[in-house]
Amino acid sequence: MANIVQVLVDAIALGSLYALVALAIGLVFGVMRLVNFAQADYITIGAYALVVPTASVTPPLLLGALPAAVMIGGVLLVVVVLALLTERVAFRPLRNSNPSTLLISSFAVSYFLQNLVMLIHTGRPKSVGIGQSLANAVEIGGVRVPGVQLLTMVVTAGLLVALVLFLKRTPLGVQMRAAAENFQMARLLGMPANRVIALAFAISGLLSGAVSLLLTIQTGTLDLRMGLMPVVYGFFATVIGGMGSLPGAALGGFLVGVASVLLQTYLPADLRPFRDAGVFTLVILILLVRPQGLIVTSAAKERV
Amino acid sequence: MKSNAMPSLASIGRFWLPVLALVVPLVLIVVVTGQFGGLSLQRTVVEMLISIVIVVGLYVFVGNSGIISFGHATFMAIAAYGSAWQTCCEMLKPITMSGLPHFLRDQSIPLLPSAIVSVLLAGAAAFLTGLVIMRLTGLAASIATLAVLFILNVVYSNWDSVTMGSASIVGLPTYVTAWLALGCAVLAIVVAYLYQISAFGLAIRATREDEVAAAASGISLYWSRLIAFTLSGFLVGLGGVLQAHYLGTVSINNFFLGFTFLALAMLIVGGMGSLAGAVVGVVVITAMVDIFRRLEGGISIGGQQWSLPAGTQELIIAAFMLLILVFRKDGIMAGREIALPQQPQREKGLING
């Protein structure tokens, strides 16, 4: 019994991480129909900001050397600034392009950023030790929950609540939802397009920053492609959930996380390396049954 | 106004002009570099010709349908591995790839049949994938092709007994010469051209311009896209076989995001709306990659050794692609084929008649 609870805890922890990533993707998609590949590099660069750029495998800490609160603030700030910068330089000029062009341009931005990190930090994986105290397990009702997983769940819950409050209760949040519903109409009614889109990027940067901290604490390593798999899972989560729907994105994130952990646990040992393939096949199957995703928004429907 | 059954030489020329305008310069490049170019330049030319096969294959689907595919490296990998299983390293195969079925493990298959089988395998894989994915539209289809790329990557990197995992399979016969690569590039261009002016090609180009209007005119989005996807699977499969037998090695990591990016960059920079765009894009990006690779390797200016840091080339290609997207969204060729201006007498005929 305790074993099943353990698996569930694992599943929910991973699911919350993917939900955060999916929300970051979904927010930006909502306001400008951009599926942002560069999200992966926001996560990577946030994590790399912790260390001094050297060729060393165990680099000295940069932001990581600061007290926890300042470190967290610093990483979040770096990622938010990066997200805003990419919006201003690469995505704003393309705002009226079709979604395919935007998708391709974000692919190019991602490739650019990834190679930039490689140029500055070299391509070698590095180890970084922050938040080691969180590795200790906490025992709750007979189930040992690693501190990192607990933290992931708490942070996700906190950010979800904050995001919902922001979207429902503040004027900017309402404008953002209006923009996601019908950008043209919202704009005609006085929604400040630039500010709302920039804000969406800033929030997605904030979420990505949180993900990069959680990931780094979890794995203790830095890698050029560390952001890739979470973001690919995040893509699939937003597609499963229904593109443009934020509850859908969060739901999709939890689903792929849970599916991933369940496959990892219950697949025979020989097949375990193929776990990701199983999850991705599941994604395609869900899309076959519900091509619009689980939660269909009015904005996703084709207008003629 | 078709007065005689035999088409005149001029009309044949006009028909084939978009193809000739691409093929003739390629032939010239091969002849000139073959005569006067150094070894490294000749290598670059062969790589460029192979890229043309691949990018034209990609164009058949992406260009005509307007749906971005991240999954085409999958079909290349399937063809390349297929060919490696059939032709590679007879002595080592029973040890390194022990999971292969007997007829592959214990013998080699002649080159031509093995190449044909591999290309067919890629086409079949594209058809089967397309059966599923072409039911989706727009962005969902693009993301699903990404899922396909990841699925294949995970499977081939871990299927150790058959694919040697993420290690390279080394020792494929290297029979690809500049002339063979040129022949295949011309074949790809001709196939793509005949397809895009056929009824199927026109139908799918209509869906690209307006899905709803095309569907209302009786075009099946599903079938038109499935045909294009399958055909493009065959062509990129051909590219995969060529690349495998040019390099002599096959490694799954060469068929992943980095490669996908480069192929898409070529298509976008040239302009994904036309065949000429696909070919021009390959030539431009290959030239840029080659120049910056040389600069990274180091050159001497005025007796001083000077070189760009490694990785500059990737940054510049990505930045160039972004600039193209911002300032010339339809690429260098802007969706046009190379053709003579429209015949004025035809219009006159219309007015008189």
Q: What is the DSSP string of A15-42?
A: HHHHHHHHHHHHHHHHHH----TTHHHH
> For residue range B96-128, what is the model confidence (pLDDT) as tens digits?
787 888 778 777 888 898 999 999 999 999 999
pLDDT at B102: 77
> Which tokens belong to A78?
């770096």
Inter-chain CB proximity B261 and A111 less than 8 Å: yes
- Quickly tell me which residue has 């059939």 as its tokens: B86
Using a CB–CB cutoff of 8 Å, tell me whether A236 touches chain B. yes
Whole-model pTM? 0.90
Query: At A162, which amino acid appears?
Result: A
**Which two structure tokens, joined as six digits, stand for B273?**
């709306």
**Would you kindly state where each structural domain of chain B is located, as residue ranges?**
32-255, 256-297+306-341
Contact: B68, A304; criterion CB under 8 Å: no
* pLDDT tens-digit map of A29-45: 988 889 898 999 999 99
- Residue in B133, B146, B155 closest to A274 by CB: B155
DSSP assignment letter at B300:
E
Contact A254, A18 (CB under 8 A): yes
Q: Do B66 and A108 touch (CB under 8 A)?
A: no
pLDDT of residue A73: 92
Confidence at residue B103, expressed as pLDDT on a 0 to 100 scale:
78
DSSP character at residue B17 = H
Per-residue model confidence as pLDDT tens digits over B328-349? 888 888 888 887 766 555 544 4
Q: Which residues of chain A fall short of a pLDDT of 50?
A: none
Nearest to A255 by CA among A38, A5, A16: A16
Q: What integer is the mean pLDDT of B26-49?
A: 91
Q: Which of B151, B211, B312 sits opposite A280 (nearest CB)?
A: B151
Distance CA B9, CA B20 (A): 14
Q: Where are the beta strands (DSSP E) in B211-298?
A: 249-250
pLDDT score at A291: 78
Residue numbers of A between 10 and 29 with CB closer than 8 Å to B? none
Partners of residue A90 in chain B, C-beta under 8 Å = 322, 326
Say yes or no for a CB contact (<8 Å) between B315 and A112. Answer: yes
pLDDT in tens, B259-291: 999 999 999 999 898 999 999 999 999 999 999
Class of residue B341 by CB neighbours under 10 A (exposed 0-12, middle 13-18, buried 19+): exposed
Q: What is the pLDDT of residue A275?
A: 87
Interchain CB distance below 8 Å, B139 and A100: yes
Q: Does A232 touch chain B (CB under 8 A)?
A: yes
Interface of A with B in 175-194 (CB under 8 A): none
CB contact under 8 A, A287 and B66: no
Q: Can you tell me the mean pLDDT for B21-26?
A: 92
Across chain A, the runs of DSSP E, i.e. the strands, are 126-127, 137-140, 143-146, 221-222
Cα nearest neighbour of A280 on chain B? B147
- A295 — contact with chain B (CB < 8 Å)? no
**pLDDT for A144:** 75
pLDDT at A299: 60
Cβ neighbours of residue B302 closer than 8 Å, sequence gap 6 or more: none
pLDDT at residue B217 above 80?
Answer: yes
Angle between helices B9-36 and B275-297 (to 10 degrees): 10
Q: Name the residue range of residue A121's domain.
A: 2-300
Query: For B149-183, what is each residue's pLDDT tens digit?
Result: 999 999 999 888 888 888 888 888 889 999 999 99
DSSP B98: T
* Per-residue DSSP letter, B341: P
ipTM given for this complex: 0.88
pLDDT score of A54: 79
**Using CA atoms, how far apart are residues A236 and A222, in angstroms rounded to an integer?**
24
pLDDT at residue number B108: 82
Cβ pairs bridging A and B (under 8 Å): 116
Averaged pLDDT score across all residues of chain B: 88
Selected for mutation to probe chain B from A100, A110, A236, A289 (highest B CB count within 10 Å) is: A100
Q: What residues of chain A lie within 8 A of the CB of B66, using their CB?
A: 100
Q: Is the pLDDT of residue B352 over 70?
A: no
List the single residue in B with minimal CA-CA distance to A118: B311
pLDDT class of B350 with cuts at 50, 70, 90: very low
Task: Give chain B positions within 8 Å (CB) of A302.
Answer: 211-212
A235–B66 CB contact, under 8 Å: no
Contacts A243 to B, Cβ<8 Å: 139-140
Taking the Cβ of residue A296 and every Cβ of chain B, the question of whether any pair is shorter than 8 Å is answered with no
CATH code: domain of residue A243: 1.10.3470
Cα B59 versus chain centre, distance: 7
Best of A34, A102, A115 to disrupt the B interface by mutation (most B CBs within 10 Å)?
A: A115
Checking if the pLDDT of B232 tops 90, the result is: yes
Pairing of strands A221-222, A126-127: antiparallel
SS3 category, A297: coil
Q: CB distance A291–B137 less than 8 Å?
A: yes
% helix / strand / coil in chain B, to the nearest 5? 75, 5, 25
Name which of A130-144, B128-142, B188-202, B225-239 the model is least confident about.
A130-144
Q: Structural domain tally of chain A?
A: 1
The SS3 call for residue B2 is coil
Residues in B lying within 8 Å of A, measured between beta carbons: 66-68, 132-133, 135-140, 142-144, 146-148, 150-151, 154-155, 158, 211-212, 257, 261, 264-265, 268, 309-312, 314-315, 317-319, 321-322, 325-326, 329
